[in-house]
Amino acid sequence: MERFLLLFFIIFGINIQAQTADWEKLYFSDALAIYLPKYNKEAKAAYRHRQFKQAERLFDTLVETKLKGTHIDNFHFLNLKGKKRSLYSFKKPIYLLTYASWCVPGKGEIPALNELAEQYKDRIDFVIVFWDKKKIAKDLSKKFNSHINVLYIDETTNNHSFVVENLKHSFGLPTCYLIATNRQITNIKRSVFHPYNVSKEKSFELNYKAIKSAITNNLIANFQKPETTKISAISPH
């Protein structure tokens, strides 16, 4: 009887600790509910007065002081077969990028992503989410290599309001979410659009440097030293 009671209290204590730890987590969606309204008000005012640097600072401050360290919600998407795929089903650190067919990436961005996905495939899960219909997402997926997981959300079905509200309507697109293995957000970045007339090679180099810096500084910096691959040795094709 004493052994049974001891075992009961041990299990009970473990459950209480687990629940307490979970209560202490601040999830991304909850942080947005608290802090996004003020940010939106101030950012809209900055854009209205064409204070673009101020708008950029507001975004960086929101991410740095309010969103970093929050836990990403277990959002659900659809794979190219139309089956649900949860964010937590990925076990490595996640490079999550949201796209849409009407928001065309820079000419060197996809080649750079493909190159880095090949390079880091054993350490990082690369996930692209399109806010599009299945057919469009399937056609666009052909541009990415097999190491990039292409998913989509079709808003016209009206079944995905939670993920759409939090990942699309919060910051627009394209937006990159860098997520550690414990599902904490290490950073959130917006894509940098380069001048349209820049060459394909230069666009590739700029995107490669930016994406690799985000990966090494936010996803694997605590695990090993960044690699020193030279940009000139990478083909943009």
Ordered by where they begin, the domains of the chain are 26-70 (no CATH), 74-237 (3.40.30.10)
Enter the tokens of residue 96. Answer: 């999550």
Query: Confidence class of residue 233 from pLDDT cuts 50, 70 and 90?
Result: very low
What whole-number distance in Å separates Cα of residue 55 and Cα of residue 40? Answer: 10
pLDDT of 106 > 80? The answer is no
Enter the tokens of residue 232. Answer: 């000139």
Strand partners, 126: 95, 148
Query: For the chain, what is the mean pLDDT?
Result: 85
| Mean pLDDT value across residues 184-191 | 92
> According to the 3-state scheme, what is the secondary structure of 207-227?
HHHHHHHHHHHHCCCCCCCCC
> For residue 221, what pLDDT is reported?
67
Q: Find the Cα–Cα–Cα–Cα dihedral 29, 34, 35, 39, rounded to 10°.
A: 100
Residue type, 59: F
If one compares 215 and 197, the residue with the highest pLDDT of the two is 215
Going by C-alpha positions, the residue among 174, 221, 190, 213 that lies closest to residue 67 is 190
